[in-house]
Amino acid sequence: MNDIEQKKLNGFLSKTLKMEAEDMASLYNEAGELVSLTAAEKADTARVAKLKDDNDSQYKRGQKEVASKLEAKLKDKYDIESELTGVELIDHILSEEIKKVKGNGEDITAHPEYIKLKLENDKSLKAKDKEWQKKLEDVEVSHSKQLIFSKVRDRAFAELDNLKPILPDDARKAQKWREKFIDEFKSFDYQEQDGKFIILKDGKPMQDSHGYTKSFEEHVKETASDFFEFQTAEHRSSSANKEVEGKSITIKNDDDYVAKMKLAQTPQERIELLNAYQKTKK
């Protein structure tokens, strides 16, 4: 790995995983070669754990808020002044209602007010339990999707690096293009099976033009080809000719470049677009 590639990778890890320079240094040997991703994996694990803790805290705050509103309504309806909460408050209200009719020698459990209060309480608790169970399930689904997409993102970047895309020399611009590339993966769902990712569209595995399940690697390559040209011997030896050809193409901005790249039909067209784009950034 050369200095430019190492700088790009370190910039990405610092931005996405908040890794310190000391931790990133442990990824390389003395020759500057990438030898271990252990520190990056630990940083990502810590990030996911924090995300789960934040979701749990939000759920608990929501439960407390719902309980407080219900307790306030009960106190107001039955004209109760008490610092009690939860089940203790319900017991206290029931006790007070029992006292109101106890002197009549009635069967308290058959009293209309007793029955009404109990039914209202049971109904309210069941509704809130169902509501918060749904919210908890939504949080768990969201957390699960974020966790698997984190793995998808890392694998997609690794596959992209293997393809050796031609990126701007400026690390910030290069990272921006990498982020545009990974945004294309957010419109799909994923399942992980035996270390491989299955791409889901409308709940079904994505298929290629021959009706076979499309592999993740194939999907990465097709997506990357819409954004990048890849390093080849021909590209390095004929850069001067390509610069001349690129002069006839006008690139207005980044979005215009992405749109034209997707419409390009041949590798030559993409190379000319890339050269024209790079000229606009000089």
95-106 pLDDT, tens digit each = 777 776 655 555
Do the Cβ atoms of 188 and 127 come closer than 8 Å?
A: no
57-96 pLDDT, tens digit each = 777 777 778 778 887 887 888 777 877 877 787 888 887 7
Residue identified by tokens 């106190």 is: 75
Stretch 17-41: mean pLDDT: 79
Residue 1 has a pLDDT of: 63
- Name the average pLDDT for the chain: 79
CA angle, 20 as apex, 17 and 24 as ends, to 5°? 85
What lies within 8 Å, CB to CB, of 176 at 6+ separation is: 254
Phi, psi of 67 (to 5 degrees): -60, -40
Q: Reduce the DSSP state of residue 196 to 3 states and report it.
A: strand
Instruction: Give me the residue spans of the domains in the chain.
Output: 1-36, 40-162
- Smallest CA-to-CA distance from 1 within 162, 214, 147, 117 is with 162
Dihedral angle sign, alpha carbons of residues 262, 265, 268, 272 = negative
Predicted TM-score of the model (pTM): 0.40
203-250 pLDDT, tens digit each = 899 988 788 889 999 999 999 999 988 887 554 444 434 444 444 678
Give the integer Cα–Cα distance in Å for 175 and 270: 20
Cα 52 versus chain centre, distance: 12
Please count the residues of the chain.
282
Q: Reduce the DSSP state of residue 279 to 3 states and report it.
A: helix
Residue 243 has a pLDDT of: 42
